[in-house]
Structure 1
Amino acid sequence: MRDLFLLCFLPVAIYFIFRRPFIGVALSAWTSIFAPHTWVWGFGTSLRVNLVITAVTVLSFIINKREGKGAFTSASIWMLVLFVWGTLATMFTEGISTVAWFEWDVFWKIIFLFFMVTMVINTRHRVEVVLWAVAIAGSLIGCNEGLKYIISGAGHIIVGPPGTRIGDRNDLALALNMLLPVCFFLYNSTKHQLLKKIMLGVIIANIVCIIGSFSRGGFIGLCIVAFFYFLKGKNKILILTGSLVVAAALPSLMPQSWFDRMNTIETATEDMSFIGRVQAWKQAVLMANDHPVFGGGFKAGQNTYLWRLYEPEFEKFDHIVQTSHVSFPFAKAAHSIYFQVLGDLGYCGLFIYLMLLLTAYRHLGYAASHAGEDEWLRNVANSLKVSMIVFGVSGALLSQPYFDLTFVVIGLSVVLCTMARKRVSATANAGAAVAPVLQTLSGKS
């Protein structure tokens, strides 16, 4: 039944995409996160839904003459440089070539999604459509897992769709934390009372999913979101009361294993998982020292041969964290967006990546501070700033540097910054037009 529904969904989607390319961009973002092919069991599993939607969107954009001018800022330049650097790093990879090129294939598609956003999304309505698309995509998964967790009495093991970027519970918690500010924005901006109630339920279910994921990085990200809204929100008493209620209810709702896992944050140096991550960070630094320009290439750090090659040198950093007493049979994932990029693309690639994130955050700051009387622009920019902060902090413990949702947010930062610049320019032009008239009137008086 699900397969038939998915098959019927495609021609309808294609029809509307040909009429409005921005619908294709929203659906492309939706499918990249939700991965509808993972929710079916029959012939639908072989349907390349995202590929079809993306191809139709590009064709629609080319033939549709009603589309406006795309946005291009310094973040766009950094994104292009990152793409070139990633391509060169893949060409000179120190790891397995087929693995590196497979990762590059995912890498360029995510960057392409960024440029689709910046080229097609250029109005308030279109921005909101994309925000609804990503919020629905993540929340369908979050609510599904969160409700299962509640119904099972905390017995359900929360995971994301298998074989996707958010298949791991830690990655799912990161995505939901990034989407929480978007959900809060949509909740506050909609005037439909039933929809507001639904969004409130979605927010609660997503929070349950984050907590129930047992993800330490997810719990830290949730605290960041709560702290931000306590500082910046208007209903500080309500937020504080809600946080205290959740904190008070946790002992009776969560199993002891959850508290045991959260307590490992304080005793990280004794945790085998953390030691494995530190060794991966050491390996990334050593590989970047040997290949500072282009690094080892995508996934080179997860190559067991290269891991064994650098393992004897891990002791160079034992004065920071002692790990020489542990040896793992296989290479460990970086579990850090920063160390993974360092190992993948070298010091130069890490600099480019950090500049991209910083520029996107500054774009959102510019949009918020130059929104003037446009409350909508200020609110959406501030919400996406929280998403970027959550990604920057929680991502320090996760291997998700090339994350679809993050690149959509970066694309929207370009769009919002361009909107703010147009607003500032229009205000300046209006002031310049009025100035001669005022001078004439003052001269006559």
Structure 2
Amino acid sequence: MRDLALLVIIGWIFIHALRRPWIGILGWTWISIMNPHQLSWSLNTMPIAAAIGGATLLGLFITKDRRDYSQSREGLVLILFMVWMCITLPFSMLFEPSFELWKRVMKIDLMILVAMVLLHSKRHMMLLVWVLVFSIGFFGVKGGAFTLATGGSYRVWGPVNTYIEGNNEVALAIVMVIPLMRFLQMQMQAKWAKTTMTVCMVLMAMSALGSHSRGALLAVAAMGLVLWWRGRNKMVGAVVMVVVSMALLSVMPEEWWDRMNTIKTYDQDDSALGRLNAWGMAWNLAKDRIFGGGFMVWTGSIFAIYGPEADRVHAAHSIYFMVLGEQGFIGLSLFLTLFIMGWFTAGKLRIQGRAQPQTQWLSDLGGMLQVSLAGYAVGGAFLSLSYWDLPYNLIILAVVGKRWLDRKEWLREMEEPVIHWPEFLKKRFQKKKPVPMLP
């Protein structure tokens, strides 16, 4: 039954992506971020994302919907980053595994660029935020409830066969989505809706702690600091954060505290020493090769050449050193430039959105995007999620929001007729009176 329901939803997205490709973008994002087909019995091996992506690209050229091919500075930098990865590919030290990951990264980045072309309205942006929140919130809320039920004795893991399968990766994804949930809550009017979202955010934070990820703990701390700084009433915000933090931490067991305390004694922790060795390997490799080593360089043969300790093979577990080792200093510069630009664009939204009541929601969005990016910048320093979709979706929201604000799109949308759904549905399904037959 679950597989059938999922197949119907995917089929609906596929059909509508041809006529309205922005629906395809939302569907692609849902499939790529949440991977719902991995939760099914018979669809987990089917090329669902490829089908949705293909329909969206086809719809991009045949649709009559509005499209915007103008390029933002973030879009141009992303294109340069893609070009650079194409240049470095032939120089990969391990070409075959590098080529496989290169294909996946190119697909993701291409759809990010397509999203910047197709998404243009407030409705599109709000729906994208909801898709991101639902995709990660499904695992985060469930993981938070699991952590409370087990007293934090077991780790929270992500969905199998995905970018966020590991406990560290799913924790960072959860941390990045909490500010988006807060943004949605700020737009809500009903008290029950706000209360429900508060409960969900608390469970999400509980899930991040339940992952036993030290990087996630640092990301939560950074996110909380920026969120407090962005708040209007800092005294009340500080008290609320302290109370909530104490309540959440009181649930965690002794083994969780022992693991978190290893942050202070990293020089005695084998995992931390492995990461430091991997970072040293990436640095040495990038200094020796201008094009980097290509994707998938974290193997014993390459550590034997560039690793400070040749026998201590470890994944990068850092978005910065991962890009440095794989794409060299030029690739890392483009990667950092992209997200620094996204940060400042979100900051402009936060400041300029206050000018009009119709754009206040963009100010809220810009502030929360910065909180999410802060969590990614800190948590990503200890996790390998350099090429995953979610951070780039934050860039999409910042770019489309800035374009919407600069072109005063709220004036255009105010002129569009507003559909009052209760009256519309009543008229749509109202039984028509039978026409009297002539004698």
The verdict on a shared fold, with TM-score over 0.5 as the criterion, is: yes
Q: Is the 8 A contact 2:141 2:204 kept in 1?
A: yes
Cα separation, partners in 2 of 1:248 and 1:145, compared to 1, 3 Å: closer
Residue matched to 2:81:
82
Q: Which one of 139, 142, 162 corresponds to residue 141 of structure 1?
A: 139
Deviation at 1:201, TM superposition (A): 2.1
Q: Moved runs in structure 1, 4+ residues, more than 6 A? A: none
Residue matched to 1:53:
52
Identity %: 29
Residue matched to 1:168:
166
Residue identity opposite 1:289 in structure 2: K
1:20 aligns with 2:5: no
Range that drifts further, 17-26 or 80-89: 17-26
Residue matched to 1:333:
315
Q: Which one of 240, 243, 250 corresponds to residue 241 of structure 2?
A: 243
Give, in whole Å, the separation in 1 of the partners of 2:78 and 2:230: 30
How many residues are paired up? 408
Q: Is the 8 A contact 1:79 1:356 kept in 2?
A: yes
Give, in whole Å, the separation in 1 of the partners of 2:377 and 2:347: 16
Q: Which one of 300, 303, 316 corresponds to residue 304 of structure 1?
A: 300
Deviation at 1:235, TM superposition (A): 4.5
Residue identity opposite 1:258 in structure 2: W
1:234 aligns with 2:211: no
Residue identity opposite 1:75 in structure 2: E
Deviation at 1:66, TM superposition (A): 2.3
1:366 aligns with 2:348: yes
Deviation at 1:143, TM superposition (A): 1.2
Q: Mapping of 1:238-387 within 5 angstroms?
A: 238-250=236-248, 252-292=250-290, 294-300=291-297, 302-311=298-307, 314=308, 327-328=311-312, 331-371=313-353, 372-373=355-356, 374-387=359-372
Residue matched to 1:72:
71
Q: Deviations over 1:282-340 (max 9, x none)?
A: 10011111102x1111112x1211111223xx2xxxxxxxxx6x943xx2111111111
Q: Which one of 417, 420, 439 corresponds to residue 402 of structure 2?
A: 417
Deviation at 1:128, TM superposition (A): 0.5
Cα separation, partners in 2 of 1:143 and 1:359, compared to 1, 3 Å: same
Give the secondary structure class of the aligned counterpart of 1:46: coil
Give, in whole Å, the separation in 2 of the partners of 1:134 and 1:413: 14
Q: Deviations over 1:79-116 (max 9, x none)?
A: 1110011112111101x211000110111012012112
Residue matched to 2:211:
213
Q: Is the 8 A contact 1:170 1:215 kept in 2?
A: yes
Cα separation, partners in 2 of 1:19 and 1:201, compared to 1, 3 Å: farther
Give, in whole Å, the separation in 1 of the partners of 2:189 and 2:19: 27
CA RMSD of aligned residues (A): 2.0
Give, in whole Å, the separation in 2 of the partners of 1:52 and 1:154: 39
Residue identity opposite 1:85 in structure 2: W
Deviation at 1:8, TM superposition (A): 1.9
Cα separation, partners in 2 of 1:16 and 1:156, compared to 1, 3 Å: farther
Give the secondary structure class of the aligned counterpart of 1:253: coil
Give the secondary structure class of the aligned counterpart of 2:43: helix
Residue identity opposite 2:207 in structure 1: C
Deviation at 1:147, TM superposition (A): 1.4
Q: Mapping of 1:173-212 within 5 angstroms?
A: 173-212=171-210
Residue identity opposite 1:97 in structure 2: F
Q: Deviations over 1:411-436 (max 9, x none)?
A: 22221222232249x9xxxxxxxxxx
Give, in whole Å, the separation in 2 of the partners of 1:348 and 1:168: 29
Q: Which one of 150, 153, 157 corresponds to residue 152 of structure 1?
A: 150
